[in-house]
Structures are given as structure tokens and as C-alpha cells.
Amino acid sequence: MQIYVVSPGDTLFSIARSYNIPVNEIISANKLNPSDQLVVGQTLFIPINGTVHIIRPGDSLYLISKEYNVPVDAILRANGFLDPMDLQVGMRLFIPSEPKTIVDVAAYIDPAITGPSSPRYVQEVGDNLTYLNIFSYHVNADGTITPLVGDEPIINAAYSKKVAPLMVLTNFSEGQFSIDIATAILNDEALQDKVLDEAIKIMKEKGYVGLDFDFEYLGAQNRQAYVDFLKKARQRLKAEDERYILSVALAPKIRDNQIGVLYEGHDYEAIGKIVDFIFFMTYEWGWSGGPPRAVSPIDEVKKVMDYALSKVPKEKIMMGIPLYGYDWTLPYVEGGKFAKSIGFMDGVDLARKYNRQIQYDEKSQAPYFRYIDEEGKEHEVWFEDGRSLQAKFDLVKDLGLRGFFYWVLAKDAPQNWELVKDNFVVNKII
């Protein structure tokens, strides 16, 4: 695949002609409606085996080699009688594909969001997943677990695609994470045993292959208690079946003493020594209740990954990627109207509807635009596209991470899954 950014005057026909491929191949690769107008700034995937690079002023084979992470001699071989000393501006070079990296890929799915369509989502994208984190079983202050009704069809869909289902345990109650529930469980050995007894029973009954703890907003007072609880969980799980997986989702920190109830209860280094791997939640810088900005800006993600690598082996690091964006109504007022969650394709549709060009922020590596709605209110939209996703995939490869995961399966994202296949070989464990 090659990522193409639509310019003024482009049509599907003109783009297809420039790459010498049928229009229908572009339509199919991007799941486009042929009657829709292209949006300036929209990304399209061009289904070619490799990449076409147009020579720019100042280009050299060395710089092009670095840009695409492909050896100079491979570029020379792919372009026949190319004279490296005679590169002309506008010349087209074919860049062969680099070897694909083997990674683990996971995705969270929340039946409260996807409802009866949950198995369909898994069936559609399961070839690109190693794990499916089914969200969530709620732990209560008395050590009981609130059942997740209707997860069996999702588990069956996962197995049909050789995806390993993980049971997600949370301290979630009445729409938010509860520090009181966490404190009650983490400071009572009997309650911990009760939770683990019930969790393992459910895993056996339903066919879960792992337990994923998503305990959030723990506060500093529960930091060591959470580590101790995870030690007990590992001991119990591995005693039942050595193949059982123990994972955990952690807040995005950039230093050990980071202030805030969300961060203080998560000890990267200690937890990293216990669990099989960690889902680092590298998203929500731009969030529905905050001011407009990229949801997962690459510069911020890189800071979290750098800190994580200083505390946790790279083989245990799964980097988070959002499958959504937000549409904020301006002006932003703290405590005011929350932003609307949108999918990748929704972002392009909004830009088309309001005749706006999609801009791209180089620092955060994310697309955005503004528009005026029918009531005269201004909006700011940030989402993900082929460029922003490729930047994240490049970071995973550059850092040598175990892999990456998504929050959350709910909206169609055809470009994402095509890009996964173009960059990686997805590991399967079942």
C-alpha cells in the first residue's frame, strides 16, 4: 500500500491513472462510495506492491533510503539502470516493501457499545488480532464480580478467527472507576481470594485464556497493594494453568513520581516484573471533556514509550492506538458540552459535508479541521488517518515493541486494517 493525500483537483480517475491501476482497486481498498466527492487532505490507500516516490529538490538516495527504511542497494535493484548521481526533480522511483515485522495485536471490545453487533466486529477484523480484550467484568467492594452477560458469542467469534479472548476485570461502577472499590479489594486478602476464585471459575467455564486487569484511579495509597495483588493473581493463574495469560492496562506516565490519582497507583517497574505484558493506554490527551487536540499525539506517545522502556522490557510493551476521534463544539468551556466521539470515516464525511479541507499537524502527526454547523456554531475535529496510523506503526517498529492494541472496536476503520496487513505479520497463539 501507498498512502496518498488528496490535492485540489484530484479525482479517483486521475489518481488511478497516475499509478496505472484500475479505479475500482482504489475504491475497494478504501471502501469508498464512488459517488462521494474526494476531500482535499483526505488519505487514500493505493494498492500497489511497494511505494512510488516522486523526487523532490534536495533528495538523495541516502535520504530516500532513510525515509522509507529500505537499503539503497534495494532501491537501485528495483529501479533498473538508475543513475544515483542523476536524480531529476519529478522523477518517479519505485521503493520496494520492507520486510514485515511480527507483532502481537489486541483490541478491546465493549458489548455495552457494540451490542448484538459485537461478534460481527470480531469476525470482520479478527484476522488482524492476536488478543481480544472483552470489557468488562466489574469487581464489587464485597469481592463479588458482576457478570458480563452475552460475552459467549463474542468469545466464539474470537476462537473462529484464532484470536485469544482475555477477560477484563475492572473497578468500574456506575459509569466510572471507583477508588473505593479498589481500596476495599486491595487491602483485604480474603476479598482478593474471593475475586480470583470467581474470575478463574468464569475463565474455565467460558474459555478465556487470560485475565486482564484494568484497575484505574487507584491513588498513591494503593500503589504497593496493587503490586501485591497482581503477584497473587499471577501465582493463582499459573497454578491453574501455566498457559494462562496475566496482563494489565496502565495509565500513560512519563515519570515515576507523576502526580494525579490516575497515575500514582501504577508502578511500571514493579508491575512489569509480574505480568506477561502491559497495555499502555497511550490515548485521551484530547478527550471528550477537555479542550480540542489530537487524541493520541505521537510526540506525547513517544514520551510515554521512552519512560516505559526505561522500566519494562520491550517484549512486554503493547502501545495503545485509538480507533476514534472527537468533534468539539467551540468555544471550549471547562465543564461544558462534551465532544462527540467519531470514527475515521466520520471525520472525512464531516469535512465533505461542510466543504472543509483536512489539515495535518506535523508535531502531533494527526489530521484536523474546523467547520461551521447549521446553527452557526464552530467545531474543531481531530481524528486518525493513514498518515497518523503509519506514524504510530513506525514507532512500534523503531522501538521494537511487542505490539500494539486498540481502544475500542466500535466504528469501521478499513484503512487501519489494510495498513496493519501492509506493515505487519500478526502473531497467533491459538
Among all residues, which ones are annotated catalytic? 216
123 CA to centre of own chain: 18
Tell me the residue length of the chain: 430
Contact 158, 429 (CB under 8 A): no
Helices 12-19, 23-30: inter-axial angle, 10-degree rounding: 110
Q: Among positive and negative, which fits the CA dihedral 44, 49, 54, 55?
A: positive
C-alpha to C-alpha distance for 127 and 124, rounded to whole angstroms? 8
Neighbour tally for 33: CB within 10 Å: 9
- Burial of residue 290 (CB within 10 Å: 0-12, 13-18, 19+) is middle
Place of cell 491513472: 17
356-381 in b/e burial notation, b at 16+ Cβ within 10 A? Answer: bebebeeebbbbbbebeeeeeeebbb
Cα–Cα dist 359/369, whole Å: 6
- Which of 165, 270, 179, 257 minimizes the C-alpha distance to 222? 179
Q: Are 97 and 78 in contact (CB under 8 A)?
A: no
Helix and strand counts by DSSP (H, E) for the chain: 16, 21
